[in-house]
Amino acid sequence: MAERQRCGLQSRIRRFESGRALNYDGSVESREVKDTGAILELVAFQEQRYFDAGLVDDPPGPPQLDRYADESTYFGVYEGDEIVGSGRVVRDWFPMRGWPFSDEVVAELAEFPGVICEMSKIAVGGSAPMFDALALIARECLRYGMREPAGCLLLASVDVGTIRIINRILGVPLRVIGDSFGPFGGVDAPGTPILIDIAKCVDVFSLPKARRGAFFLEGFNHLTAEW
């Protein structure tokens, strides 16, 4: 069983690394979520996925909005009416202000007041098309940075495997800006801090040979002349 799962994962990785188009037949879509009830459903989905994956020890209780909710923009990935992915962007990167960054990184981030946001609460359902769902969440977060001046730089704490997916498989340029640390932010497993520069993303996705440039810049091609 484990060998079949490993081979299946490698097959999906090769499909993405080959540059083939994502599988969009209209059954999986992403969107910004504003309704409080729908946001709570995303929270419940994310908390259950983190528990199932062993990222938290305690089973989730009734979903609640955290203290960063008013500063957050939520995104969901849906297959019909079923949630298969979730994520959010927190303005002014409040949660990761508590990260033990080096003095050099703290000084660098201090040079960009008011333009740093944080990607967090990213989760993908076990039955979902894994990379497709993660790609849609990543695109929603990057598009937020493209249209909102406050999101020119995106921070996130992710596991090492997710770094490879975001950087190598999806082609999103990123920087690792610190050592792994944890527990942090309600997750019992350690995470690694990354920084994504939206302007650099636009430059990379605008290149003629960018594997998924059209996917990430769909509807935003006018930005290539502005950045």
- Using CA atoms, how far apart are residues 49 and 60, in angstroms rounded to an integer? 10
Q: Is the dihedral of CA 88, 20, 12, 177 positive or negative?
A: negative
| DSSP secondary structure string for all residues of 16-28 | HHTTPPP--SSSE
- Using CA atoms, how far apart are residues 211 and 227, in angstroms rounded to an integer? 20
- What is the pLDDT, as a whole number, of residue 26? 55
Number of residues that this document lists for the chain: 227
Phi, psi dihedrals of residue 192, rounded to the nearest 5°: -115, 130
- Using CA atoms, how far apart are residues 98 and 202, in angstroms rounded to an integer? 29
Question: What is the assigned CATH class of domain 21-225?
Answer: alpha beta
Of 98-112, 113-127, 179-193, the poorest mean pLDDT is in 179-193
Q: What is the CA radius of gyration of the chain?
A: 17
**pLDDT (average), residues 2-6:** 37
- Using CA atoms, how far apart are residues 116 and 129, in angstroms rounded to an integer? 30
The SS3 of residue 175 is: strand
Nearest Cα residue to 163 out of 78, 82, 171: 171
- Using CA atoms, how far apart are residues 62 and 100, in angstroms rounded to an integer? 31
- What is the pLDDT, as a whole number, of residue 17? 42
Question: How many whole angstroms from its chain centre is CA 38?
Answer: 19
pLDDT in tens, 22-72: 554 557 899 999 999 999 999 999 999 999 988 888 899 999 999 999 999
Res 227 pLDDT > 70: no
Cβ–Cβ under 8 Å, residues 112 and 63: no
Nearest Cα residue to 150 out of 91, 95, 99: 91
Element (H, E) at 194: strand 192-197
**Could you tell me the pTM of the whole model?**
0.84
Nearest Cα residue to 32 out of 88, 79, 81, 70: 88
* Beta strands at 153-158 and 116-124: parallel, antiparallel or unpaired: parallel
- Using CA atoms, how far apart are residues 149 and 168, in angstroms rounded to an integer? 27
Of residues 7 and 186, which shows the higher confidence score? 186
Nearest-5° angle of CA 74, CA 49, CA 98?
Answer: 60
Structure tokens at 171: 């082609």
- What is the pLDDT, as a whole number, of residue 3? 40
